[in-house]
């Protein structure tokens, strides 16, 4: 009897280790094509609260389940500013990440949002956003949310919030403010479920306008 229990215990441990190994093998590094660096002129020193310290070395791999794709590519985009000052909203999901003139959308001043309809509920692992990387600037009150409600009135998950003083009225955030570079901002969406992804900004350290070059949403169909 004791021998049988020991064998059963060993088998259970082996099964557990096997499942852990399979899970680890199912994870792969998230890959995306980065645009070329395009800082113009001398970067202007900026000071904002809770600014992310400079990273040492390359950015570590961000692991996602195998089969993860950019669900936002070519998808419909809406905004709090339905008539952008520059560009059109469909440019946010057209796969063009360059910082050249004509490659970005400019929204009006103050708090604004853009929203991507993924077309169906998804498990979202990461949101990748490029606001503007031709200049070393910082965008204020960056908030990223995911929901099944297109009006974002219920079932809202906030996956990023760097509004340190609640100036946008969406709660105080503890995430870092950061300087825009060609790497964009990779945000861990923590396997959040939803059909819609909404991103907020509230001007930047250069002017009060809001800009987007590209947004990628990496995930899989909801299980």
Number of Cβ atoms within 10 Å of the Cβ of 137? 18
C-alpha distance from residue 140 to each of 32, 47, 71, 124, 161 (Å): 25, 12, 26, 24, 10
Structure tokens at 91: 């440019």
Q: Mind listing the domains of the chain with CATH numbers?
A: 31-53+62-221 (2.60.120.260)
pLDDT per 10-residue tile (average), the chain, 223 residues: 44 47 71 87 72 91 97 98 96 95 94 98 98 93 98 98 97 96 96 98 96 98 92
Give the per-residue pLDDT at 83. 94
Bridge partner residues of 146 (DSSP): 157, 197
57: left (phi over 0), alpha (psi -120 to 50) or beta: left
pLDDT of 223:
87
Q: What is the pLDDT of residue 172?
A: 98
Would you state the pLDDT for residue 102? 86
DSSP result, 87-101: S-GGGGGSS----ST
User: What's the pLDDT at 40?
Assistant: 60
Q: What pLDDT shows up at residue 136? A: 87
Put residue 15 in one of left, alpha, beta given phi > 0 → left and psi -120 to 50 → alpha. alpha
What does the block give as tokens for 80? Answer: 């709090």
């Amino acid at each position: 009897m004791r021998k049988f229990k020991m064998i059963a215990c060993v088998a259970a441990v082996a099964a557990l280790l096997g499942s852990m190994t399979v899970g680890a093998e199912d994870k792969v590094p998230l890959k995306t094509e980065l645009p070329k660096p395009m800082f113009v002129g001398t970067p202007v020193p900026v000071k904002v609260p809770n600014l992310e310290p400079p990273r040492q070395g390359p950015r570590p791999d961000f692991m996602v389940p195998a089969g993860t794709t950019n669900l936002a590519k070519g998808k419909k985009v809406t905004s709090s500013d339905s008539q952008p000052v520059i560009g059109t909203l469909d440019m946010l999901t057209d796969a063009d990440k360059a910082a050249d003139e004509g490659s970005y959308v400019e929204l009006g001043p103050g708090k604004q949002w853009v929203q991507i309809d993924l077309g169906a509920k998804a498990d979202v692992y990461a949101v990748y956003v490029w606001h503007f990387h031709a200049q070393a600037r910082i965008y204020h009150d960056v908030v990223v949310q995911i929901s099944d409600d297109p009006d974002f009135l219920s079932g809202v998950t906030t996956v990023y919030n760097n509004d340190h003083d609640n100036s946008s009225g969406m709660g105080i955030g503890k995430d870092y403010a950061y300087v825009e570079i060609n790497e964009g901002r990779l945000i861990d969406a923590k396997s959040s479920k939803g059909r819609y992804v909404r991103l907020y900004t509230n001007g930047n350290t250069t002017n009060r306008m809001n800009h987007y070059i590209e947004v990628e949403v990496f995930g899989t169909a909801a299980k």
